[in-house]
Amino acid sequence: MEAPETIQNAWAGLKLVRMAIEQTCPAGVLPSEEAVLLLYGPEPVHEGEALAKAIIETVTG
């Protein structure tokens, strides 16, 4: 079963944010996609949480 278009769009946007973080933030501040699944969960909101924490860690760390 294919995910609804809005979910696909959410994942596409999150992947772009992940790429930007990986290119600009210190190495190790963002867990891998596989680690996010284990640490946070499988939903787009979980990836978003990991991305937000990486940005906060970079800015405040």
pLDDT value for 61: 79
Reduced to 3 states, what is the DSSP secondary structure of residue 14? helix
Inter-residue long-range contacts of 4-9, CB under 8 Å, 24+ positions, other chains counted: 7/44
Token pair in block for residue 20:
């930007």
Q: Give the pTM.
A: 0.88
Inter-residue contact 58 to 26 (CB < 8 Å):
yes
Token pair in block for residue 36:
């996010």
Query: Is 16 inside a domain boundary?
Result: no
For the stretch 6-59, pLDDT in tens is: 999 999 999 999 999 999 999 999 999 999 999 999 999 999 999 999 999 999
Query: Is 17 inside a domain boundary?
Result: no
pLDDT over threshold 80, residue 3: no
Query: Is 2 inside a domain boundary?
Result: no
Domain that holds residue 36: 28-60
Query: Is 50 inside a domain boundary?
Result: yes
Query: Is 56 inside a domain boundary?
Result: yes
Kindly report the number of other CB atoms within 10 A of residue 41's CB atom. Answer: 13
The number of folded domains in the chain is 1
Query: Is 33 inside a domain boundary?
Result: yes
